[in-house]
Structure 1
Amino acid sequence: MKVILLKNKTTPSDPYDRIFQQHNYEPIFLPLLRHTPVNEQIILSFLTSDDFLDNYEALIITSQRSIETLGQILAKLHSFGRFNDILSKPSYTVGPATAHVMRQLGFTDVRGGDDAGNGQILADIIKKELRAGRVLFLTGQIRKDTIPRELKLAGFDLKELVSYRTEPLTDIVDRYTKIVSRLNKNDWLVFFSPQGTRYILDHLDHFSRLATIGPTTQTFLARRGIGVDVVAKKPCAESLYQAIVGDELSHSQMS
């Protein structure tokens, strides 16, 4: 059975690719967006500044793309004298996948992760654990307001640096049509974000099984009259896999 994942495949390894292959599914990645790193020199300069290292309590990074940009920047800093001071800074993430990659980069105090399934939960954790000080948020050009709003209301001095921009790919419909022409109605289509999906919403008739990685995308689809079969409880590969398997099991028991 095939699982069409409307996302870019993460490098060097993708947890969604790994877990579905392990369980005899065929994952197929269909990127809808192009992610381009930006402000690398600005971020590099700030991370190595005494201001960040001495005065900022923590780093917040909630997106896989921001982490990829950060990884490229850190690769240039191994000879920096206070490199370990960067890696020891408390780092708050959403979901286990981002937490795992941050640890792979060498960060030693990664927080949130499994315990933070969305931005609201992460903001609550930060408010509980830190005094209202200075915090750096590495984010995309398009981001939700939840974390900045909650932390600023709580008195935090939040500095945001945009680490990547996102643009829809121009050939989404053509690539989507070619892929779905080779599939059947038992295969799954998984939505990861509202961004880019509007281009294919008129072409969903082929699928009877739709899934989303979280409630935000589910709400986006519902407002357009599109219901989904499953919603992952957490924004991670394991949770998505369990949701899909659970749905298939319930249908097999009814048949």
Structure 2
Amino acid sequence: MTHKTPTLLLKTKSTPSDAYDEYFTNKNYNPLFIPVLSHQFHAANLAHIRDLFNTGALKHDNPERKYGGLIFTSQRAVEGFARMIEEDADEQIASDSSKSLPLYTVGPATSRSLSSLVTSHLPHATIHGTDTGNGENLARFILEHYNNLAGNKNGRGEKLPLLFLVGEQRRDIIPKTLMSGELPEGERIGVEEVVVYETCVMESFEGDFTKVIDSYKSEDYDGGGEKVMWVVIFSPTGCDAMLRVLGLDSSSNDNGNGVLVAPGKRVFVATIGPTTRDHLRLKYGFEPHVCAEKPSQEGIGGGIERFMEGRNGK
């Protein structure tokens, strides 16, 4: 029987189906999900956004319009926004407010989450930035797109700011880039951040991760070739616990050879993108073996395949 490479996906498995599960299963991996994060939505701030919709503060023909569009860089922010729209927003006003409303997003997963909401509740909104891949690229895209977008001003001819729905832990690259003092004043774009969810590491994560690694270590090894396990990281949160379980700290690195956790058994690490990779580099001195070129299952899978081919000398 063909050996399937165990692949630990440090995320909650999506329901009713998960694209990572389907992809890695079909590619002869054995995917296993270990949830890392727990999330709590910020009810008061989501209520504030609901009120913006219900009062027409986002309607394109309102001379007192407050914002020209919305920015999303996480699926959790989309989820909180979607719940608010579906459960609390006035359906007709939300639909009207979607006219000429750009929604900026980063990565295909977040875009897919937004697409279903647009279809059902915001029929006139448009989604942009799907293929930008990270916050820095998205910010550059927004500068080009929004500054040339008709209807980005209020009734007084002032450029409208963008509303950025975020978690309490985030990088500031997007607002810094859009509001940079190095830009000509006419090109700057105001950004107002609203925290719509909070994140923390699940109490069970380190124990769950330890159990899987210990089981891998204790599997029978016949010496007939090296066994490999991959760990895929989707967020900087929880990285310290993962490295602790693997026995790594700031003074140790594997020089690209993988973490030898038992005779003949190595663990390699892949990240969903440069934010998590840089977090591992800067905070822990650890260089992940793969960083996805695009934040998707294909991006992760393709990076793993190229790494293994190079390592095996193919």
Q: Judge conservation of contact 2:273–2:292 (CA < 8 Å) in 1.
A: yes
Alignment partner of 1:45 out of 35, 48, 51: 51
Alignment partner of 2:285 out of 222, 225, 236: 225
For the residue of structure 2 that corresponds to 1:187, the secondary structure is: strand
CA deviations over 1:140-199 (Å, ceiling 9, x no partner): 111110111112225323222211100122232211111112236511011222212112
Alignment partner of 1:63 out of 69, 74, 80: 74
Question: Is 2:235 the partner of 1:178?
Answer: no
Q: Judge conservation of contact 1:44–1:73 (CA < 8 Å) in 2.
A: yes
- Higher RCO (Cα < 8 Å, 6 or more apart): 1
Larger Rg: 2
Q: Using the alignment, how far apart are the partners of 2:24 and 2:97 within structure 1?
A: 35
Give the residue type in structure 2 aligned to 1:222.
R
Query: Which 10-residue stretch deviates more, 219-228 or 192-201?
Result: 219-228
Question: Is 2:121 the partner of 1:113?
Answer: no
Residue 81 of structure 1, CA deviation: 1.5
Give the residue type in structure 1 aligned to 2:47.
Q
| Structure 1 pair 79–22 and aligned structure 2 pair: CA distance change class (3 A) | farther
Give the residue type in structure 2 aligned to 1:212.
T
Residue 128 of structure 1, CA deviation: 0.8
Question: Is 2:190 the partner of 1:163?
Answer: no
Q: Judge conservation of contact 2:102–2:127 (CA < 8 Å) in 1.
A: yes
Alignment partner of 1:196 out of 238, 261, 266: 238
Alignment partner of 2:19 out of 1, 5, 15: 15
Partner of residue 302, structure 2: 242
Partner of residue 114, structure 2: 102
Q: Percent identity?
A: 33
Q: Judge conservation of contact 1:66–1:138 (CA < 8 Å) in 2.
A: yes
Question: Is 2:273 the partner of 1:214?
Answer: yes
Give the residue type in structure 1 aligned to 2:297.
A
| Structure 1 pair 78–222 and aligned structure 2 pair: CA distance change class (3 A) | closer
Query: Which 10-residue stretch deviates more, 61-70 or 225-234?
Result: 225-234
Give the residue type in structure 1 aligned to 2:141.
I
TM-score under structure 2 length normalisation = 0.74
| Structure 1 pair 101–149 and aligned structure 2 pair: CA distance change class (3 A) | same
Give the residue type in structure 1 aligned to 2:268.
R
Q: Using the alignment, how far apart are the partners of 2:54 and 2:308 within structure 1?
A: 50
For the residue of structure 2 that corresponds to 1:239, the secondary structure is: helix
TM-score under structure 1 length normalisation = 0.90
Residue 47 of structure 1, CA deviation: 2.8
Structure 1 unaligned runs (5+)? none
Residue 77 of structure 1, CA deviation: 5.1
Residue 17 of structure 1, CA deviation: 2.0
Q: Using the alignment, how far apart are the partners of 2:277 and 2:190 within structure 1?
A: 32
Query: Which 10-residue stretch deviates more, 11-20 or 103-112?
Result: 11-20
Structure 2 unaligned runs (5+)? 148-158, 181-186, 218-226, 247-258
| Structure 1 pair 11–61 and aligned structure 2 pair: CA distance change class (3 A) | farther
Residue 242 of structure 1, CA deviation: 1.0
- Aligned-pair Cα RMSD in Å: 2.1
